[in-house]
Amino acid sequence: MNLTWNIFCRVIDNFGDIGVCWRLAVNLAERGQSVRLWVDDASALTWMASEPVHGVHVLSWTTPFDMSGMTPGDVLIEAFGCEIALEFIANYADGIRAGGQKCLWINLEYLTAEYYAAKCHGLPSPVMSGPGKGLTKHFFYPGFTSGTGGLLRETHLLEQQAQFDKTAWLAHYHTDGQEHSRVVSLFCYEGMDLRLWLAALASDTVPTLLLVSSGQSTRAVRRVLGHEMGIKPNRDKRGALSISYLPLLSQLEFDHLLWACDLNFVRGEDSLVRALWAGKPFVWQIYPQDDGAHHAKLHAFLDWLKAPPSLRLAYDVWNGLVQGAMHWPAVTHWQSTVTLARQRLWVQDDLADALIQFVLKSRHG
């Protein structure tokens, strides 16, 4: 059944919200759905989205809200607790009441491996005030287990990975991974202190090619090295470490970056999921919270991952929970952990399919 979905997204920082919402819109469209992505700042899509996608319409979330000539559609998704425009809610509520339809208002939550994700997934929440009074929201939790909404995953992901040419991709970005025994990607927040880590790579006996993502990751590395190095790979006079700064990458090209590397350092929600699907060893920098709530979230993920002690220690060091330098890890041991985790995820429904099933069940249940 083809439905019209409305996804509402406010861009807060780091483009993580718009990244997840764009992937969700594309995933739904792949499955024959029509999607309107309402966003207050769509500028990141000029580089994040490699090309337009049939079935996805990006619309400006303005104030006051304007939906002249549009019907409210069938489903509305409130991404990450953003407050949907009251004008849209009023229009949506009027359409539901007039047509005798069931309310399909979904609050898409942040990704977590904590126990409450499965406990709260799908729960209803009556709307007690405002133009939507009398309607019902449902909490929808992405997650890593069958009791949650699953993770975003493209329908042709395995075929794309099988066709990927690592050598050609590295050559396109003026790098030669064959000259190095290992290729590592870095996607981190700017506040990272990388001094000990870069020094350990530079003094190692095995040559490393470090591919640094544009933006905050580049600034974090350059703050340590103290000089500009450009996009092409350069020896930094520190031994075995070569660094290549990458341009802004589309979501597809970011996937390719992860597929091309032996070890990936990723940050935030979207790149964590992409690292899991890449099937390569990775270390995740969780978004830090002032109250330290991210510590429990990080360890809940490590518990689900069934991470060995060496991987848990690496995560704690990388996230500043433990002091010390991160040396080259036991990547071979980590590989089996990631492979098994990916296999567990693959037999579960992905997020787009889970949403469609939830909506259809709600409409006909």
pLDDT reported for residue 148: 97
Task: Answer yes or no: are the C-beta atoms of 264 and 278 closer than 8 Å.
Answer: yes
pLDDT at 283: 96
34-39 sheet: strands from edge to edge = 56-60, 34-39, 4-9, 75-79, 105-108, 136-140, 124-126
pLDDT score recorded for residue 326? 72
Burial grade of 361 (CB within 10 A; 0-12, 13-18, 19 or more): exposed
Q: The dihedral of CA 248, 250, 254, 260: what is its sign? A: negative
Q: Report, as residue numbers or ranges, the catalytic residues.
A: 17, 269
The SS3 assignment for 172 reads helix
CB proximity list for 209: less than 8 A, separation 6 or greater: 175, 176, 177, 179, 180, 182, 183, 184, 233, 242, 243, 244
DSSP 33: -
Q: Cα–Cα distance between 294 and 237 in angstroms, integer? A: 37
pLDDT of residue 12: 81
**Which residues on adjacent β-strands are paired with residue 267?**
285
pTM above 0.85, yes or no: yes
How far is CA 24 from its chain centroid?
10
Does residue 150 contact residue 121 with C-beta atoms inside 8 Å?
A: no
- Note down pLDDT in tens along the chain; length 365 residues: 899 999 999 988 778 899 999 999 999 999 999 999 999 999 999 999 978 899 999 999 988 888 877 888 899 999 998 888 888 898 888 888 887 777 799 999 999 999 999 999 999 999 999 999 999 999 999 999 999 999 999 999 999 999 999 999 998 887 765 666 789 999 999 988 899 899 888 888 888 899 999 999 999 999 988 754 433 344 444 458 889 999 999 999 999 999 999 999 999 999 999 999 999 999 999 988 777 778 999 999 999 999 999 999 999 999 999 887 776 666 888 999 999 999 999 999 999 999 999 999 888 76
At 101 the pLDDT is 77
pLDDT at 178: 60
- Residues 136/127, Cβ–Cβ less than 8 Å: yes
Answer for the pair 261, 335: CB distance below 8 angstroms, yes or no.
Answer: no
